[in-house]
Structure 1
């Protein structure tokens, strides 16, 4: 991986990217409210379960397919997987999150001149916009997938640090301990065939719906 690609990847996978990622917990705040996540051990168990059952088996494989479709200039496959991902957001919060972040990222890459986003259509999801940026910046797909999964894990850890709460050192210790799980998730995402993709997580869906009416929320999901 050359220096230019690495620097581009670091910029577009950074939590400092102005697309609003810090304002979402993806159901974790509801899990904390319900008493399912109370300390470092339960936080790790939550992240590992979500990583294995949803990210590795749906979010990351869809991103992998979208990056390949952009590289092949395959508009039909881009539309297919972009639509599938949007349809998989089964609560109002999760749908709004992906569309808002996708819209923000697509506007950012257009304004920066990274890629032509006019063909992305309406309701651009985050994986769709990220794949577009990866293609425009010639970032290697394996590294891009690893960075996107790491960014998701890092955001979950930051939510735990602020809301469980965990100490800063405990948060970094947790993040460091998750390296093997992140690597396994990315490896699984790259090799899963289409008919084995799944984001079946009814407990997460229920928590997300409860969060929509939860009082005293810090996060938007």
Structure 2
């Protein structure tokens, strides 16, 4: 029996889906989606894409906020997504401070490997998008198809530029809406191994 190729997108949170504050997201009121981001995810959902979030949450490890606060932030995110007709199936996050030496803090690939295990797919079947070189490095290290959006840390390149350090294999888009256009323009879902 042929196996369908999954359409599973792993999205970074701060700077990709939402504004990237200078001083962390300390509570639900600090979480604000980027213009058009929720609508882009809604279009992808409608086009058959499953979406998860994978995010470094260093503030937990540094004691800047607790799990209850992070859960409240994500509850706000899920409510706003639902209002836009979008759905994120799961949120994966690294709770560690940078000096803890974990394997899940991007640029390490651990979060992507966790997603692949949870959804029963090979990491190479994941499509990943983020706004920083750290996101790109983590996704590439896991073997994911990797995309960069110019909405956060590399926003200075928006409007036609491409960061020179970006590997050639990484596709570059102005924002999630542009990424959605690209992914939705792909041929209809086929069986594994189909051209």
TM-score range, shorter chain: 0.3 to 0.5
Ranked by relative contact order (alpha carbons within 8 Å, sequence separation 6 or more), the top structure is 1
Instruction: Report the TM-score when normalising by structure 2.
Output: 0.38
Instruction: Report the TM-score when normalising by structure 1.
Output: 0.34
Structure number with higher helix proportion: 1
